[in-house]
Amino acid sequence: MYKLPEDFIFGGATAAYQAEGATKEGGKGAVAWDEFLEKQGRFSPDPASDFYHQYPEDIRLCEKFGVNGIRISIAWTRIFPDGTGAVNQEGVDFYHNLFAECKKRNITAFVTLHHFDTPKKLFDKGDFLNRDNLDAFVDYAAFCFKEFGEVRYWSTFNEIYPVATNQYLLGTFPPSVKSDFSKIIQCLHNMMVAHARAVNLFKDNNYPGEIGVVHSLETKYPATDSPEDRHAAFLDDALSVRFLLDATYLGYYSEKTMQALEEIAEANGATYEFLDEDFEIMKKASRRNDYLGINHYQCHFVKAYDGQTQIHHNGTGDKGTSVYKVKGIGERIYKEGLKRTDWDWLIYPEGMYDILVRIKEDYPHYNKIYITENGMGYKDEFEDGVIMDEARIDYLKVYLEAIGKAIEDGVNVKGYFLWSLMDLFSWTNGYNKRYGLFYVDFETQKRYPKASAYWYKRLSETKMIN
Ligand code: BGP
């Protein structure tokens, strides 16, 4: 049995667009998602969990259930409705009030500057493919660092790889482009440059607190021991994991990373531009990250594949419908005997352990790690206010054990943020994929603690995983 450290953070994670609702209130500017979701007509980002109005209640619940950290993101368009230019004081006040509430209840806030919600005005000009938008992001970051002096933990971006691939490979995020590897590679690189610029700005100005980035790191394993499958897993890993860790902690792309990148780019007819000055900026930032945030839910077994790209995203919870075969990389398969969720996410906690140990070995100056997201999407059953989510508790247990084991083996993990604090809106799945410790009745906005909330409270009190 594992015992987690006394000073460990037992947090809950949220993101502005998925929790706040109120997308047209308080002077907020538009994001690309507003129009995208409206056109798609499947589900609306309003009211989500109405965190914009309910946050005092959510933070009260944190205190009551031993959740001593909360991960939130600032909606860029509540601060700068157009992305640049005039400041919206109502938005600034909202976040000051939110942070004050956290302080009042002794909940540490971990604040992300960008969680999938670029202002529409900038998004329409190419999002992070347009270098002018990097300047806009850095200006927004500078404003926040200066204004929100009460924040101690910052992260620049949430999940750069899913931004690039959901926007330009799967097309599940606006602008719904499919299989454009020039855009994928350029977006990954440009966002890493923007991250590095924000880190340098933060450190050059000696702002108080810590800064890092949140990466989605899903471990890749070869489907079999054959050299072809091993190579496919290597390519999948190189683009989704190694590229970003190199950028973050080396400030350049290692030879191995570049070999993989060139192979993927050639197979997909992609071109990209990395400037010398980018590497100067990245290099400078590479030793200045105070921590790494890791979002980890699942891993992938990868098989060699030499056909055209074919993808089906399971956004409905119909188990077994996912297809992921990518030209020049490989095919992700279901491994016999492994459990997976209704959305086909493999439950394989070894993936968590392996990624943690690998970071310690490959990037020894990583400083420390927070697991900034982990959790299980589930079709919770609500019976008279009681939600018995044993499957979620089982999931959390095995993943926390993997973290406990990694800590025992010397990895410096300082906290865990369960995705999600309360049920909220899921970008491509809407409202039936619930993750929360607290069940949200989206009509009344009433919160109900699930069995997992009581389990998490005990964990936070005893630090013992059982
Ligand atoms: C991460 C995102 C979150 C959240 C989570 C669960 O990639 O950072 O915003 O959505 O995944 O994903 P989903 O809602 O697709 O199940």
**Residue at 289 is within a domain:** no
Say what the pLDDT of residue 323 is: 97
**Residue at 416 is within a domain:** yes
**Residue at 288 is within a domain:** no
Q: How many domains does the chain have?
A: 1
72, HSE (Cβ side, Cα atoms, 13 Å): 25
The average pLDDT across 309-314 equals 97
Say what the pLDDT of residue 251 is: 98
Round the average pLDDT of the chain to a whole number and report it. Answer: 98
CATH classification of the domain holding 119 = 3.20.20.80
Q: Read off the pLDDT of residues 61-109 as tens digits, 9 standing for 90 and up.
A: 999 999 999 999 999 999 999 999 999 999 999 999 999 999 999 999 9
Out of 427, 428, 433, 434, mutate this one to test ligand 1's pocket (max ligand atoms within 8 Å of CB): namely 427
The H or E element containing residue 448 is strand 446-449
Say what the pLDDT of residue 49 is: 98
Tell me the C-alpha distance between 216 and 33, whole Å.
21
Tell me the C-alpha distance between 376 and 395, whole Å.
7
Percent above pLDDT 90 for the chain: 99
Has residue 466 got a pLDDT over 90? no
Print burial letters for 351-390: b (CB count within 10 Å at least 16), e (below 16).
Answer: bbbbbbebbbeebeebbebbbbbbbbbbebeeeeeebebe
The H or E element containing residue 326 is strand 323-326
**Residue at 38 is within a domain:** yes
The pTM of the full predicted model, rounded to 2 decimals, is 0.98
Structure tokens at 183: 């855009």
Say what the pLDDT of residue 82 is: 98
Radius of gyration of the chain from its Cα atoms, rounded to whole angstroms: 21
Q: Read off the pLDDT of residues 41-67 as tens digits, 9 standing for 90 and up.
A: 999 999 999 999 999 999 999 999 999
Residue nearest to atom 14 of ligand 1 (CA): 426
Catalytic residue among 20, 101, 331, 373: 373
Tell me, yes or no, if 373 is annotated catalytic: yes
Which amino acid, residue 312? H
| Residue 409 burial (CB count, 10 A) | 11
E strands, 116-219, are: 153-158, 210-216
**Residue at 286 is within a domain:** no
Say what the pLDDT of residue 336 is: 87
**Residue at 54 is within a domain:** yes
Atom from ligand 1 closest to the CA of residue 375: 6
**Do residues 77 and 31 lie in contact, with contact meaning Cβ atoms separated by under 8 Å?**
yes
Q: Read off the pLDDT of residues 185-230 as tens digits, 9 standing for 90 and up.
A: 999 999 999 999 999 999 999 999 999 999 999 999 999 999 999 9
**Do residues 413 and 368 lie in contact, with contact meaning Cβ atoms separated by under 8 Å?**
yes
Residue nearest to atom 6 of ligand 1 (CA): 426
The number of residues in the chain equals 466
**Do residues 80 and 119 lie in contact, with contact meaning Cβ atoms separated by under 8 Å?**
yes
Question: In the structure, what pLDDT confidence band is assigned to residue 383 with cuts at 50, 70 and 90?
Answer: very high
Q: Read off the pLDDT of residues 246-298 as tens digits, 9 standing for 90 and up.
A: 999 999 999 999 999 999 999 999 999 999 999 999 999 999 999 999 999 99
Question: In the structure, what pLDDT confidence band is assigned to residue 1 with cuts at 50, 70 and 90?
Answer: confident
Residue 315 CB-density burial (10 A; 0-12 exposed, 13-18 middle, 19+ buried) = middle
Out of 112, 113, 419, mutate this one to test ligand 1's pocket (max ligand atoms within 8 Å of CB): namely 419
406, HSE (Cβ side, Cα atoms, 13 Å): 28
Ligand 1 center to residue 295 CA distance, Å? 9
216: nearest Cα among 182, 239, 197: 239
Question: In the structure, what pLDDT confidence band is assigned to residue 451 with cuts at 50, 70 and 90?
Answer: very high
ipTM: 0.98
Ligand 1 center to residue 180 CA distance, Å? 22
**Residue at 13 is within a domain:** yes
Q: Assign 232 to helix, strand or coil.
A: helix
- Preceding peptide of 162 cis, ω within 30°: no
Tell me the C-alpha distance between 46 and 24, whole Å.
9
Say what the pLDDT of residue 181 is: 98
Say what the pLDDT of residue 298 is: 97
Ligand 1 center to residue 426 CA distance, Å? 6
211, HSE (Cβ side, Cα atoms, 13 Å): 27
Pocket of ligand 1 (CB under 6 A): 15, 18, 158-159, 162, 216, 295, 373, 377, 419, 426-429, 433
**Do residues 296 and 326 lie in contact, with contact meaning Cβ atoms separated by under 8 Å?**
no
Q: Which domain holds residue 377?
A: 9-217+347-462
Ligand 1 center to residue 206 CA distance, Å? 32
**Residue at 136 is within a domain:** yes
CA angle 63/101/76 to nearest 5° reads: 120
